[in-house]
Amino acid sequence: MWFNKLYGSNFLNDSRQADPKRMGKRSKLGVNPTLSLQGNQVRVLVEEMDGGNYTCHLGPDGEYLNHTTILIQLEPDNKTVILVEKSLEEGHIHCSASNYKGSFHCSWTRTESRSSAAVLLVKAERFLENIPCELSADGSGVHCKDINCPYKEEQHRISLTIYIHSYSRLEVYTKAFYLRDIVRPAQLPNLHISDGRVFSWNYPDSWEIPSTFFSLHFQIKVVPNGHACNSEEHVLDKITEETKYEIHVKAKRYVFCVRAQDKFTRGPWSHWSHCM
């Protein structure tokens, strides 16, 4: 069971027939306890971060009967320590989708001091309808699929809740978003040059069709040779809706960069594709 306050009391129960010899013991992080109370129902005072496993035995040194794990969730205004905050705008969870078919992926990063923290539960829903999700093997992300009419206009946000614990500390992280706000086109394929100055590319295979309805526009950027596409120094910076572009620049050596964005929702840009 989970204990949702900084301190308080909790009941440990043993469903077997009442026996005064049955005793409740506390075991925290593998250390055997000082708590020793008799009865089928034991009331335990939990203070601050004093969580852990509470076990019931048949007598002081008797048979193990059962145990209850108590995790401590601090008040909402307390600072979280398990996950890294990516940015003030994005929070602790990053979510993205490559199209509007309903699949999306969310990821998070544990802080260095809490690298072994384990995910207890991930819950996703939209307007009280559950969305099935699958946790990644390393517990650092989740893949979900909203199967309810993915192309209809979104009236309600997707709500994602993650319960994660480190030792006896429990933290809850939430994120709410529309699918249209996280759709990022895949990197543009088949970027090539012809006639020495005409660059062309294709829509991503994962993007929606027909492209006349799910339109992309493209940012063209030409940077000096040896510079990255996200460099602030550039020779040319244009927006086009065509899948080709003819360059007229004086520089003989340069890097041609292109990326895509949904023309209508203006969501996240794809990662850059480049050609020299």
The residue written with tokens 């003819």 in the block is 246
pLDDT at residue 270, as a whole number: 96
224-242: average pLDDT = 89
- Number of Cβ within 10 Å of residue 88's Cβ equals 6
Comparing 178 with 75, the larger pLDDT belongs to 178
Look at 36-40, 125-129, 138-142, 193-197 and tell me which has the smallest mean pLDDT. 36-40
Banded model confidence at residue 20, pLDDT cuts 50, 70, 90:
very low
Q: Name the strand (E) or helix (H) holding 126.
A: strand 118-126
Banded model confidence at residue 93, pLDDT cuts 50, 70, 90:
very high
* DSSP notation for 139-196: SSEEEEE--S-TTSPP-S-EEEEEEEEETTEEEEEEEEE-GGGTB-PPPPP--EEETT
**Structure confidence by residue, pLDDT tens digits, 150-203:** 666 788 999 999 999 998 889 999 999 999 999 999 999 999 988 888 999 999
Q: Which amino acid is at 39?
A: G
Q: Is the pLDDT of residue 254 over 70?
A: yes
Q: Which amino acid is at 158?
A: I
Q: Is the pLDDT of residue 211 over 90?
A: no
Q: Cα separation of 155 and 9, whole Å?
A: 42
pLDDT at residue 151, as a whole number: 63
Q: Cα separation of 190 and 212, whole Å?
A: 20
pLDDT at residue 36, as a whole number: 55
112-137: average pLDDT = 94
pTM of the model: 0.76
The structure tokens listed for 96 are 């993205």
**Structure confidence by residue, pLDDT tens digits, 21-34:** 444 444 443 334 44
* DSSP annotation of 80: P
Percent of the chain with pLDDT over 70: 80
Q: Is the pLDDT of residue 3 over 70?
A: no
Contact 78, 172 (CB under 8 A): no
Q: Cα separation of 120 and 162, whole Å?
A: 8
Domains of the chain: 2-73 (2.60.40), 94-181 (2.60.40.10), 192-275 (2.60.40.10)
Banded model confidence at residue 79, pLDDT cuts 50, 70, 90:
confident
Q: Cα separation of 157 and 93, whole Å?
A: 15
pLDDT at residue 30, as a whole number: 39
**Structure confidence by residue, pLDDT tens digits, 34-65:** 455 556 666 767 665 677 888 888 777 778 88
pLDDT at residue 89, as a whole number: 86
